[in-house]
Chains A and B, each alone.
Chain A
Amino acid sequence: MKRLTLYLILLVLSLSACKKIIDIDTKDAAPQIVIEGKITDSLIDQQIRISKTVGYSELGIYPKVSGATVTVSDNKGNNYVFKETSPGIYTNRMKGNPGTTYNLNITAEGAVYTASSTMPKKVLMDSIGVINNYFFGNERKTTAAYLADPKNEANQYRFYLYRNGIISKSIYVNNDRLTDGNNLRIQLFFFTDEERDEELNSGDQLLVEMECIDAPVFDYWFALSEQTGRGPNQGTTPANPPSNLSNGALGYFSANTYQKLSATVK
């Protein structure tokens, strides 16, 4: 809402606005552990990835962390041992269940990292579609996901949007704090680095993935979404998002449901 207002102003007032690549002065930080783990409700090879950060100025080739001990236990008494199937990727073929709490325990390079996440009840998208917005005379095709939010319970959703196999750079995360119990149409604007809101064209293949996530994981994505695409001097001061992982690890551990739908732009 605020962002839209700002765009309007910028559009009209600053036809001369311009962008350029500049050098900045920042220190490269020492490598930090990054853990990204998901348990979903599909019977698949569930993945826990362990890697490390690189400094700002370095190439984005992220060191994998091998030789870690990775286990997940749930509150029903099950234990799952994850095996390193390729460097830094630890897998176990299993299926998570909504309502179950999963506890992650990792020992990597002599340090212990733990996290816990509860898989929320599954809410399904009814469909996805393309809607037309008119923005200053231009027709904009936008992807939309349709779903019915269950009443009287807190729900959090995370979406991923792919166009022709390319993932959108935006972080789509919603909760039902202001929309509880309603039929929702959630607009997913496609973003890349070059374009704020890239146009969809006829024949584009769209894929939308939806996860129902728990509240701490929502906070993680919400904090990131508030920062992305704005950068310093605009919007919130960037900071590392609040993680449910212990011991200062970056990333998150999420037990979430999973659903995907695809469509073709007419």
Chain B
Amino acid sequence: MSMKYYLSLLLLFFSTALLAQKKFTLSGTIRDGATGETLIGATVKISGPATAGTLTNGYGYFAISQIEGSYTVVISYTGYTAITKTITLNKDIKLNEELKSTIDLAEVVVSATNRKNENVKSAQMGLERVDMKSLNSIPVLLGEKDVLKTIQLLPGVKSGGEGNTGFYVRGGAADQNLIILDEAVVYNSSHLLGFFSTFNADAIKDVSLYKGGMPAQYGGRLSSVLDVRMDDGNNKEFKFQGGIGLIASRLKAEGPIVKDRGSFMVSFRRTYIDLFLRASPDSSINGSTLNFYDINAKANYKINDKNTIYVSGYFGKDNIGVKDLFANDWGNVTATIRLNHIFSDRLFSNTSLIYNNYNYTVRLLNDVTNFKASSLVRDFNFKEDFQYFSNKHTLRFGINATQHRISPIDISVSQESQVNPLTQQRRYGIESAAYISDEWAATEHLNFLYGLRLAAFSLMGPGNFSTYDPDGNILSTESVADGKFYKNYFNLEPRFSVSYLFNEENSIKTSYNRNTQNVHILTNATSSSPTDQYVLSSNNIKPEIADQVSMGYFRNFDENNYEFSGEVYYKWLQNQIDYKNAAQLLANSNIESELLYGVGRAYGLELFFKKKFGKLNGWVGYTLSRTERKFAELNNGKYFPSRQDRTHDVSVVGIYNISQRWTFSSSFIYSTGNAVTFPAGKYVVGGQTTYYYTERNAGRMPYNMRLDVSATLEGKKHKRYQSSWNFGVYNLLARKNPYSIEFIDDPNDPRKTAAQQTSLFGLIPSVTWNFKF
């Protein structure tokens, strides 16, 4: 009912636009002049009898409709020299342009024309785009540049822990981030238990993080969207680039399939810690494995002016093992086939077929046990997205259907093993969605971005589904046949953002959005673990729901050289999941009997000040926030802070281009310690000192503080090749940041209790050599 109402309202807005004066369309694709890569989010602005502006979409495409006349077109993109053209709009016009990177100009160019006030004008809030060029100079652990560690330096985004790629956005849990790589969901985005991410920066073109004001085309997770897009590949010439670092090496090859029509990109990364292990003379050390690798591959081909096809894939794997004892491997696979079709200059469509899976295997090997446990999450996804460019409206609408299959755990063993074989029932679900949204430049001062998403989830047979009493005993079990719908949930997710411009440099924005989530992770570890368990919404688990409102003030200074923003948000969370004390999460068919359901709230203030250009650039971010959960069965039913509740979070990033060849950069972070449960008393049972707890997460870990620095030396320019050295020091102050605290009997006086802190990383230097030819 209400869906129909909203839709008709939307169409009403839309048709008034159609009824207006006769208009012509300027459309085209904007690319990088050197590589032919499409540029995402480039600004196209026309001025003449009327003015209008737009951004290129995820495929570099744009369209603007305006009344007849002579116009000046300015196309700009940060880090590129802007192009100015004059056109006469008396028919529909195609304008495919290539921009030249200013980096090639051997000096830091600050062109006034590529200063746009996009952050001030757009109705979009809570969006952060990672500049892949600055990513190279931000210092990181062991010199492995990492998208996920860089976004942790932004306000509102909190690190999952020291050196960890896990992240929390505005009080959300780690599993509430939608992480997509070329539209495919990446379930586990970490390598080596979170110290590195699955995103090899060499193969990544664009990274956008939505902390709030999520556009309606995204759904399925509560807290954020991290939209990662791979490089398309150079369609002009063959290029190689790579790097040799302390723990990993990278190599990327790209080139045209057919010049200016199609290209490919293949990128490979592998760690080699285990090669050092292999060098050991000791047979049980040199038989151990500890590595991960990533392969990204992509190809695209422009069939004709109206159709372009993209095929991309990711394959990554971690292997850990001790000879004759233990082996654990895990990894993600994604594959995406996309077809861009331009129905008319104004109507752009993208059809995607997506496959992704995440799986892990654990083997225990010894003289009596030969044990193998494996688990799989697999999705097939079909998406159809449309984008319609009208005069003042950009309309997006589409549908999406995903089939999930979860194999929670399969245990197979040798005959004499002490563990019994077990196959836990698979779970099947279909998640489908339809959405429509409109970006509307209502007046010179007022911009709207509003839409609606209908999210449906169905839990399907075959399977046995149980209900439980509060003690976890089975009340009833229903057997559901193959292909039958067992449980359905429908959720309407309104999304609304508006910006009001006082002038070109000042605006306020506000947004509201609702998100729902039907795939949940159950974990009792802080950092992401390869053996995290995924569950679908069911008769017991209700879809998680988040409502977020946010408001912000946005200001640019000095011709856009400085950017300031302040945002406040409040978020209500429903149907949050925790588990009972003494829950047995491993290989438990009745795992849903171990769960607790509650609510949460999160609110905060984010301040961001950025200097975008010049020899010295960088940013300062500050977050003041609170994140709490409430479960009837925990903490006497009172709100308690989430573990990732950190009151203050400060990050400072500075990049200084000292000369053409030397770049220095540093990052500094400070954050309040995690909220943890400290004992309030102690007693003895079973001959051991045991701790008495009163309030959940009422204690604080010591604060975190770290300064990282790096220096990049660009090699002398050669015609054929280019190389650079990157030197870094992680934790320059060698501060012992807390990783965990244990309580022990005081070594000096066993009648006393001592808190023993473990720190992970001291000062860690790194060096990386990068090359391009």
Contact = CB atoms under 8 A, between A and B. Distances in A.
Contacts of B677: 232, 237-239
A2 B531 contact: yes
Nearest to B697: A237
A111 interface: no
A220 B582 contact: yes
A103 to B, nearest CB: 19
B416 to A, nearest CB: 8
Contacts of A134: 284, 322-325
Contacts of B420: 178-182
Interface stretch (A19-27, A40-48, A115-123, A199-207): A19-27
B699 A232 contact: yes
B111 interface: no
A171 B738 contact: no
A3 B685 CA distance: 24
Given A183-B418, A219-B582, A232 B740 contact: yes
B193 A9 contact: yes
B660 interface: no
B750 A20 contact: no
Interface in B738-766: 738-747, 749-764
Nearest to A17: B760
B289 to A, nearest CB: 10
B751 A240 contact: no
Contact of A233 (B362, B529, B701): B701
A231 B743 contact: yes
Contact of A171 (B586, B643, B688, B692): B688
A221 B688 CA distance: 12
A19 B757 contact: yes
B683 A237 contact: no
A22 B757 contact: yes
Q: Interface extent on B, as a size class?
A: 35 or more
Q: Interface extent on A, as a size class?
A: 35 or more
A20 B757 contact: yes
A167 B682 contact: no
A226 B580 CA distance: 12
A233 B736 contact: no
B683 A53 contact: yes
B722 interface: no
B524 interface: yes
A61 B690 CA distance: 13
Interface string B212-236: 0000000000000000000000000
A22 B690 contact: no
B584 to A, nearest CB: 7
A252 B643 contact: no
A229 to B, nearest CB: 7
B689 A60 contact: yes
Given A22-B757, A134-B324, A135-B322, A232 B682 contact: no
Contact of B753 (A60, A160, A179, A223): A60
Contacts, number: 255
Contact of B581 (A22, A24, A239): A239
A182 B681 contact: no
B702 interface: yes
A194 B750 contact: no
Contacts of B686: 36, 160, 171, 221
A83 interface: no
Given A8-B322, A14-B760, A232-B741, A56 B524 contact: no
Contacts of B367: 131
A22 B741 contact: yes
B313 interface: no
A190 B693 CA distance: 26
A57 B587 CA distance: 39
Given A18-B762, A34-B685, A179-B418, A242 B680 contact: no
B388 interface: no
B691 interface: yes
Contacts of A61: 751
A160 B584 CA distance: 22
B684 A29 contact: no
Contacts of A226: 524, 582
A99 interface: no
B320 A34 contact: no
Contact of B320 (A8, A160, A180, A232): A8
25 contacts: A12-B277, A13-B192, A13-B195, A18-B758, A19-B757, A20-B736, A20-B759, A31-B681, A32-B681, A34-B684, A36-B686, A53-B692, A56-B678, A56-B679, A56-B753, A133-B366, A137-B284, A193-B744, A222-B584, A229-B742, A231-B740, A231-B742, A233-B738, A234-B526, A237-B676
Interface of A: 1-2, 4-6, 8-10, 12-14, 16-29, 31-32, 34, 36, 51-57, 59-62, 131, 133-137, 160, 167, 169, 171, 177-185, 193-194, 219-224, 226, 228-242, 250-252
